[in-house]
Amino acid sequence: MQIHPVILCGGSGTRLWPMSRGGYPKQYLKLTGDHTLVQQTALRLRGIADARPPIVVTNNDQRFMVAEQLRQIDVTSSAIVLEPASRNTAPAIAVAALFALRESPDSLLLVLPSDHVIAGEAAFCEAARAAAQTARDGYLVTFGIAPTEPHTGYGYIHAGAALVDGARTFAVDSFVEKPDADTARRFIEKGGYYWNSGMFMLKASTYIEELRRYEPEILLQAELALSGAPRDDDFLRLEPQAFAASPNTSIDHAVMEKTTRAAVVAVADLGWSDIGSWTALADIAERDAQGNVLIGDVLTDAVSNSYIRAEHRLVAAIGVDNVVIVETADAVLVAHRDRAQDVKKIVERLNAMGRHESVTHRRVVRPWGSYEGIDSGERFQVKRIVVNPGAQLSLQMHHHRAEHWIVVKGTALVTNGDKEIILTENQSTYIPLGVTHRLLNPGKIPLELIEVQSGAYLGEDDIVRFEDTYGRVTPA
């Protein structure tokens, strides 16, 4: 049986703010190495025998980030499925199962969140092999993590009777919601309880059968959403009305807690974390003699047991203990380690105030590259723009601003009204207000330029698109 990995990466995590934001969540960040979390998830699949290219499930806003990050590591997906609305894991996995069944009636799904850290890749691959064998026998298998502490931030799985002699594969006795500290300690003392990792191995056909039994509306809407889904380039766009009509339910609540076919593979030495907070990230990082994790340009004196991360400038800390300090280009977080989970309260306040810092960074990723605000004032704004090789911006115009473009690296092919010109380093052009224009990088290296905007209104919504490679044309 072929294994179809399913990577779930449509989340908008905010518990690692100010680095993780609504428009650029943690799965796209390099938090624990040279690759982002979604890249680590995809690369981890190299050790899984018979694994097909992954089915990636995300949302429309994140589609180009996913495609670009997979391209960077030379991973080709079977499909990038675009959810038109967030409906939790049960509908997402239903669509993936139906998609996999188009290829084979015996397809297995290996369902993986995209934002987890797994240090023990060999242990992960071994657990996947054990889970695949059990799933072939008709079980819906979850991965249970042997607990290392009485953690209250995870749900637990209570293992029942062994299903395979000599193997750590059990029937699921029960699922337990996140416990309080005393209950978690009792679980550890009693044994047979495992953290619920949110990873699954299951036959696509078995999952569909159980959905039909317990949540038929989810299955119906998934079938309708997939049957009406057009495909363009890398993307499979689910039919919006059908998918939005699906119940908003997790796979645990929809199926796993109800089925008689639930099994758990108990895994130790996995080095697993869902890095749900800055404290959790600090716990898996290498510490110095004072118990500190220091990343970037950081200077300390008499500092202990702290996580300090500098992304853009020098951060100096003196005489503090058990703190989290995270610096980004436009926001700095300072928190006691014991209150790191409460960062979501700050994000909620930012959202209520309508502030962009909860959603976007100063550097904003676009399908063609990125732009970053450098300076702004009354009637002017300065940006640094990077255009990927071969990429181009839309053919567009502005009602309220003019622009100067100065190339600092690479080559630009510029459409300026009825003219096309080539610009290289230290050359510039002026785009008058109301003139149709476009920027393209015809070269082999990233194009970098400085854009100076001037006008009465400089908002990003002052764009009229006439043509666009990425389907963003402004309606007439």
Tens-place pLDDT, residues 338-366: 999 899 999 999 999 999 999 989 998 88
Q: Contact, 57 vs 66, CB < 8 A? A: no
Segment among 91-100, 228-237, 381-390 with least mean pLDDT:
228-237
User: What is residue 233's predicted lDDT score, i.e. its pLDDT?
Assistant: 73
What CA–CA distance (Å, rounded) separates 431 from 416?
Answer: 7
User: Is 57 or 165 the better-scoring residue by pLDDT?
Assistant: 57
Write down the architecture of domain 3-273 according to CATH. Answer: Alpha-Beta Complex (3.90)
User: What is residue 474's predicted lDDT score, i.e. its pLDDT?
Assistant: 67
Given a cut of 80, whether residue 46 has pLDDT beyond it is yes
3-state secondary structure of 462: coil
Q: What is the DSSP string of 194-231?
A: EEEEEEEEEEHHHHHHHHHHH-HHHHHHHHHHHHT--E
pLDDT band at 1 (very low <50, low <70, confident <90, very high): confident
**Per-residue pLDDT tens over the stretch 417-456:** 999 999 999 999 999 999 999 999 999 999 999 999 999 9
The fold for domain 363-467 equals: Jelly Rolls (2.60.120)
What CA–CA distance (Å, rounded) separates 278 from 153?
Answer: 13
What CA–CA distance (Å, rounded) separates 410 from 388?
Answer: 10
What CA–CA distance (Å, rounded) separates 367 from 386?
Answer: 11
Phi, psi of 180 (to 5 degrees): -80, 175
The residue assigned the tokens 């690296």 is: 409
Q: What is the DSSP string of 414-440?
A: EEETTEEEEE-TT-EEEE-TT--EEEE
In the numeric block, which tokens belong to residue 69? 């990050």
* Average pLDDT taken over every residue of the chain: 94
User: Is 1 or 146 the better-scoring residue by pLDDT?
Assistant: 146
Q: What is the rounded end-to-end Cα distance, in angstroms, of the chain?
A: 50
Given a cut of 60, whether residue 416 has pLDDT beyond it is yes
Across-strand partners of 150? none
Listed in sequence order, the residues at least 6 apart from 150 whose beta carbon sits closer than 8 Å to its beta carbon are 181, 184, 185, 187, 188
What CA–CA distance (Å, rounded) separates 322 from 337?
Answer: 5
Amino acid making up residue 83: E
Helix-, strand-, coil-residue percentages of the chain, each rounded to 5? 25, 35, 40
Q: Contact, 449 vs 383, CB < 8 A? A: no
Question: Is the preceding peptide bond at 230 cis, omega within 30 degrees of 0?
Answer: no
What CA–CA distance (Å, rounded) separates 324 from 306?
Answer: 6
Q: Contact, 386 vs 367, CB < 8 A? A: no
Q: Contact, 121 vs 44, CB < 8 A? A: yes
CA 448 vs CA 424, 428, 442, 451: distances in Å: 10, 12, 12, 10
User: What is residue 75's predicted lDDT score, i.e. its pLDDT?
Assistant: 95
User: What is residue 296's predicted lDDT score, i.e. its pLDDT?
Assistant: 96
Closest CA to 442 of 400, 414, 407, 474: 414
Given a cut of 60, whether residue 132 has pLDDT beyond it is yes
User: What is residue 33's predicted lDDT score, i.e. its pLDDT?
Assistant: 87
Q: Contact, 409 vs 450, CB < 8 A? A: no
What CA–CA distance (Å, rounded) separates 157 from 48?
Answer: 25
pLDDT band at 269 (very low <50, low <70, confident <90, very high): confident
User: What is residue 475's predicted lDDT score, i.e. its pLDDT?
Assistant: 66
pLDDT band at 73 (very low <50, low <70, confident <90, very high): very high
What CA–CA distance (Å, rounded) separates 436 from 415?
Answer: 8
Closest CA to 54 of 65, 72, 66: 66
Given a cut of 70, whether residue 146 has pLDDT beyond it is yes
What CA–CA distance (Å, rounded) separates 441 from 449?
Answer: 11
Q: Contact, 67 vs 234, CB < 8 A? A: yes
CA 95 vs CA 63, 228, 339: distances in Å: 17, 12, 38
Given a cut of 60, whether residue 262 has pLDDT beyond it is yes
110-138 mean pLDDT: 94
Residue 25, classified by CB atoms within 10 Å of its CB into exposed (0-12), middle (13-18) or buried (19+), is buried
Sketch the domain layout of the chain as residue ranges: 3-273, 278-349, 363-467
Given a cut of 60, whether residue 476 has pLDDT beyond it is no
